[in-house]
Amino acid sequence: MKSRLFIISCSLILIILLFGCSKTDESKESNWEDLVKNVPEIVMNEKEIPEDILNQIKLPKYSTIPFEVKQVLVTPQTSFSEKGPLLIDISFIGEEDVLHVSNLFIKEDRTLAAQETVTLSNGLEAQWDEQGNAKVLSWHDSEDNVVIDLMIPTPMGEKNDYTIKEFLKMANSIE
């Protein structure tokens, strides 16, 4: 009886340890890997982006995007040289809406005219602007030397109902 109890106890501990390890591995998944797993189609515009650069891209968790994504278009704007900044635009294309996530890899912060300054959950300050033909949340992550912009443009003659709360949810999911 005691040996059975011992075996059951050991089995339960092993199951808990295995379950705990699988959770840890899952949490280490990059947002790029999360995206690749969830998006129906990813199109690389122009040329392939090296894997090490893809893993540096700052993206919101796929589950925080406030509309259904049909396709993702990844467009590098400059070369992959060490000499200058590298801009990569990731367009999440839905039925009617598009979310642009831009990553500009630079050391210095750039200032934007903004309606409001908000604080992200990681303590960084971001600029929010909802005037004009798009809603934009932008911030500089000096630790990773990248400026991140989240933008949803408004189609001509239509209203953009996305809120700062939805933008903050996406921004706060970026690791």
Q: What are phi and psi of 151, to 5 degrees?
A: -140, 135
Instruction: Specify the pLDDT at position 2.
Output: 46
d(CA 48, CA 2): 61
Task: Indicate the pTM of the whole model.
Answer: 0.74
Determine how β-strand 116-119 pairs with β-strand 42-44: unpaired
pLDDT reported for residue 78: 67
Q: List pLDDT tens digits, range 2-59.
A: 444 333 433 333 333 333 433 334 455 667 777 777 776 778 766 677 777 778 889 9
pLDDT the model gives residue 84? 57
Tens-place pLDDT, residues 63-121: 999 999 989 998 887 665 555 568 889 999 999 899 999 998 887 767 666 779 999 99
What's the confidence (pLDDT) of residue 5?
Answer: 37
Given a cut of 60, is residue 171 above it in pLDDT? Answer: yes
Write out the H or E segment, with its range, that includes residue 11. helix 2-27
For the chain, the structural domain boundaries read 30-172
Query: How confident is the model over 137-159, as a mean pLDDT?
Result: 87
Greater confidence (1 vs 49) lies with 49
For 68, 102, 142, 160, 163, the CA distances from 97, given in Å and listed in that order, are: 9, 16, 30, 9, 14
Contact of 100 with 151, CB cutoff 8 Å: yes
DSSP percent split of the chain into helix, strand, coil, nearest 5: 30, 30, 40
pLDDT at 158 (0 to 100):
78
